[in-house]
Structure 1
Amino acid sequence: MEGSFELTLQIAIAVLAGISAQVVAEYLKVPSIIFLLLFGILLGPDGLSLLHPHHLGMGLEVIVALSVAIILFEGGLNLSWRDLGRVSGSLRNLVTIGTLITLIGGGMAAHWLAEFPWSIAFLYASLVVVTGPTVISPLLKHVEVDRRVATLLEGEGVLIDPVGAILAVVVLNTILNSNATPVEIFSGLLMRLGIGAAIGAASGWLLGLCLKRASFLSEDLKNLVVLAGVWSLFCLAQMSRSESGLMATVIAGMVVRASSLPEERLLRRFKGQLTVLCVSVLFILLAADLSIASIFALGWGSVLTVLALMFVVRPIAIAVCTINSGLNWRHKLFLAWVAPRGIVAASVASLFAILLTQQGINGGDAIKALVFLTIVITVFVGGLTARWVASWLKITSSEATGAVIVGCNPLSRLIARLFQESGESVVLIDTDPEACQKAAAENLPVFQSSALDPEVLEEAGVHSMGTFMALTSNGEVNLVLAQRAVEEFQPPRVLAVFPSNSQSGATNKAKVNQAFIEQLSIKTWNQYLNDGQVKLGTTILKEPGLELQQAHLQTLIRAGELLPLLVKRDRSLQVVKATEEWLCGDEIIYLLYDPRPQLLKRLSGETPSSRLALEKLPKVEEVPVVVTVSETALENIAEPVKS
Structure 2
Amino acid sequence: MENSIFVLITIVGISIAIVDVYLKKTGLPVIIFYLIIGLLVGVSGLNILNSHGLNEIYFLAIEIMVALIVFEGAFAINIESLKRVSSVVRKLISIGFLVTFFASSFVVYLSGLLDLQTSFIVGSLVTVSGPTVISPLVKRASLNEKVKAVLIGESILIDPIGAIFAIFVLDIVLSGIHADPIFWIFSRVIIGILFGLIASLIMWLCLRISKKFEKDEILLLLVGSAVATFSFSEIIADGSGLLSVVTLGVMLSGMDIPSKKEVQKTQDIFVRISIAGVFILASAVVDLNVVIALWPKGFIVIGLIVLLIRPLCVLISSYQSSLSIKEKAYISLVSPRGVVAAALAAFAGEKISSDDGAIVVALVFLIIVITVVSQFSYAGLLSRLLGVESMKALISGNGEISKRIADELSSNGYQVLVILSNEEDGYFDNSDEKIKIYKGSAADEKFIHSLNLREVNIVAGVSDSDENNLLFIQIVKTIKPDVKSYALVNTLDSITAFESLGIKAIKKADAAASSLLELMGNPSIHNVIGGEGEPRLVLEVEVARGIKGKKVKSLSLPNGVLVILIHRKDDEVVPRGETVLQNGDKLLLFGRSTNVNLARDMLLQFN
Quote the Cα distance in structure 1 between the aligned partners of 2:24 and 2:271: 15
**Which amino acid in the other structure matches residue 36 of structure 1?**
Y
TM-score, with length taken from structure 2: 0.68
Partner SS state of residue 46, structure 1: coil
Quote the Cα distance in structure 1 between the aligned partners of 2:5 and 2:501: 74
135, 138, 148: which one aligns with 2:136: 138
Give the alignment of 1:271-290 within 5 angstroms: 271-290=267-286
Deviation per residue, 1:271-319 (Å, 9 max, x gap): 2110111001221222122111222233422221111111110010011
- Equivalent residue number for residue 261 of structure 2: 265
Give the fraction of aligned pairs with identical amino acids, expressed as a percent. 25
**Which amino acid in the other structure matches residue 574 of structure 1?**
V
- Equivalent residue number for residue 226 of structure 2: 230
174, 180, 188: which one aligns with 1:192: 188
Asked if the contact 1:70/1:230 (under 8 Å) is kept, the reply is yes
Partner SS state of residue 371, structure 1: helix
Quote the Cα distance in structure 2 between the aligned partners of 1:207 and 1:312: 43
**Which amino acid in the other structure matches residue 317 of structure 2?**
C
Quote the Cα distance in structure 1 between the aligned partners of 2:464 and 2:77: 48
**Which amino acid in the other structure matches residue 490 of structure 1?**
G
Deviation per residue, 1:102-136 (Å, 9 max, x gap): 01110111110144222111111111100021011
Where structure 1 has 5 or more consecutive residues not aligned to the other structure, the ranges are: 401-465, 470-474, 519-540, 543-553, 581-588, 595-632, 638-643
Q: Tell which deviates more after alignment, 103-112 or 383-392.
A: 383-392
Whether 1:486 and 2:486 are equivalent positions in the alignment is no
Give the alignment of 1:501-520 within 5 angstroms: 511=435
Give the alignment of 1:427-506 within 5 angstroms: 466=392, 483-484=407-408, 486-487=410-411, 489-493=412-416
Give the alignment of 1:34-53 within 5 angstroms: 34-49=32-47, 51-52=49-50
Quote the Cα distance in structure 1 between the aligned partners of 2:45 and 2:161: 35
Whether 1:379 and 2:302 are equivalent positions in the alignment is no
- Equivalent residue number for residue 367 of structure 1: 360
Give the alignment of 1:124-203 within 5 angstroms: 124-180=122-178, 188-203=184-199
Q: CA deviation at 1:138?
A: 1.0
The verdict on how the C-alpha distance between 1:251 and 1:299 changes in structure 2, with shifts beyond 3 A counting, is: same
Asked if the contact 1:73/1:253 (under 8 Å) is kept, the reply is yes
Quote the Cα distance in structure 1 between the aligned partners of 2:323 and 2:168: 33
379, 386, 393: which one aligns with 1:393: 386
Deviation per residue, 1:582-628 (Å, 9 max, x gap): xxxxxxx942399xxxxxxxxxxxxxxxxxxxxxxxxxxxxxxxxxx
**Which amino acid in the other structure matches residue 139 of structure 2?**
K
**Which amino acid in the other structure matches residue 234 of structure 2?**
Q
Quote the Cα distance in structure 2 between the aligned partners of 1:344 and 1:220: 28
- Equivalent residue number for residue 444 of structure 1: none
Asked if the contact 1:208/1:261 (under 8 Å) is kept, the reply is no
Partner SS state of residue 591, structure 1: helix
Asked if the contact 1:482/1:512 (under 8 Å) is kept, the reply is no
Partner SS state of residue 94, structure 2: helix
Whether 1:355 and 2:264 are equivalent positions in the alignment is no
- Equivalent residue number for residue 312 of structure 2: 316
Partner SS state of residue 38, structure 2: helix
Asked if the contact 2:311/2:332 (under 8 Å) is kept, the reply is yes
Asked if the contact 1:25/1:31 (under 8 Å) is kept, the reply is no
Quote the Cα distance in structure 1 between the aligned partners of 2:135 and 2:177: 41
Quote the Cα distance in structure 2 between the aligned partners of 1:303 and 1:25: 28
Deviation per residue, 1:158-190 (Å, 9 max, x gap): 110011111111111212331426xx7655433
**Which amino acid in the other structure matches residue 68 of structure 1?**
V
Quote the Cα distance in structure 2 between the aligned partners of 1:292 and 1:509: 36
Q: CA deviation at 1:43?
A: 3.1
Quote the Cα distance in structure 1 between the aligned partners of 2:13 and 2:478: 46
Quote the Cα distance in structure 2 between the aligned partners of 1:326 and 1:188: 37
The verdict on how the C-alpha distance between 1:256 and 1:350 changes in structure 2, with shifts beyond 3 A counting, is: same
**Which amino acid in the other structure matches residue 246 of structure 1?**
L
Asked if the contact 2:39/2:284 (under 8 Å) is kept, the reply is yes
Q: Tell which deviates more after alignment, 134-143 or 327-336.
A: 327-336
469, 478, 500: which one aligns with 1:592: 500
Quote the Cα distance in structure 2 between the aligned partners of 1:350 and 1:161: 16
561, 565, 568: which one aligns with 2:477: 568
Asked if the contact 1:563/1:592 (under 8 Å) is kept, the reply is no
**Which amino acid in the other structure matches residue 104 of structure 2?**
G
Quote the Cα distance in structure 2 between the aligned partners of 1:509 and 1:279: 19
Quote the Cα distance in structure 1 between the aligned partners of 2:202 and 2:191: 17
329, 333, 344: which one aligns with 1:333: 329
Partner SS state of residue 568, structure 1: helix
Partner SS state of residue 483, structure 2: strand
Partner SS state of residue 317, structure 1: helix
- Equivalent residue number for residue 74 of structure 2: 76
Asked if the contact 2:188/2:239 (under 8 Å) is kept, the reply is yes
Deviation per residue, 1:386-443 (Å, 9 max, x gap): 222223323222xx4xxxxxxxxxxxxxxxxxxxxxxxxxxxxxxxxxxxxxxxxxxx
Asked if the contact 1:468/1:491 (under 8 Å) is kept, the reply is no
Quote the Cα distance in structure 1 between the aligned partners of 2:208 and 2:404: 24
Asked if the contact 1:483/1:512 (under 8 Å) is kept, the reply is no
Deviation per residue, 1:206-227 (Å, 9 max, x gap): 1233144345764324322322
Asked if the contact 1:486/1:494 (under 8 Å) is kept, the reply is no
**Which amino acid in the other structure matches residue 491 of structure 1?**
Y
**Which amino acid in the other structure matches residue 236 of structure 1?**
F
Quote the Cα distance in structure 2 between the aligned partners of 1:346 and 1:501: 42
Structure with greater Cα Rg: 1
Asked if the contact 2:130/2:338 (under 8 Å) is kept, the reply is yes
Asked if the contact 1:562/1:591 (under 8 Å) is kept, the reply is no
**Which amino acid in the other structure matches residue 347 of structure 2?**
L
Asked if the contact 1:486/1:511 (under 8 Å) is kept, the reply is yes
The verdict on how the C-alpha distance between 1:493 and 1:219 changes in structure 2, with shifts beyond 3 A counting, is: closer
**Which amino acid in the other structure matches residue 195 of structure 2?**
I
- Equivalent residue number for residue 84 of structure 2: 86
**Which amino acid in the other structure matches residue 500 of structure 2?**
L
Q: CA deviation at 1:381?
A: 1.6
Asked if the contact 1:205/1:259 (under 8 Å) is kept, the reply is no
Quote the Cα distance in structure 1 between the aligned partners of 2:393 and 2:468: 28
Asked if the contact 1:566/1:574 (under 8 Å) is kept, the reply is no
- Equivalent residue number for residue 7 of structure 2: 9
- Equivalent residue number for residue 105 of structure 2: 107
Give the alignment of 1:575-614 within 5 angstroms: 575-576=484-485, 590-592=498-500
Quote the Cα distance in structure 1 between the aligned partners of 2:501 and 2:287: 73
Q: CA deviation at 1:35?
A: 1.6
Paired positions, count: 469
Partner SS state of residue 573, structure 1: coil
The verdict on how the C-alpha distance between 1:126 and 1:559 changes in structure 2, with shifts beyond 3 A counting, is: closer
Q: CA deviation at 1:502?
A: 13
**Which amino acid in the other structure matches residue 360 of structure 2?**
I
Quote the Cα distance in structure 1 between the aligned partners of 2:104 and 2:470: 66
The verdict on how the C-alpha distance between 1:93 and 1:17 changes in structure 2, with shifts beyond 3 A counting, is: same
Quote the Cα distance in structure 1 between the aligned partners of 2:401 and 2:379: 38
Quote the Cα distance in structure 1 between the aligned partners of 2:433 and 2:182: 51
Q: CA deviation at 1:566?
A: 9.4
Q: CA deviation at 1:260?
A: 1.0
Deviation per residue, 1:126-153 (Å, 9 max, x gap): 1110002101111121111222111211
Asked if the contact 2:67/2:242 (under 8 Å) is kept, the reply is yes
Asked if the contact 1:565/1:591 (under 8 Å) is kept, the reply is no
The verdict on how the C-alpha distance between 1:509 and 1:328 changes in structure 2, with shifts beyond 3 A counting, is: closer
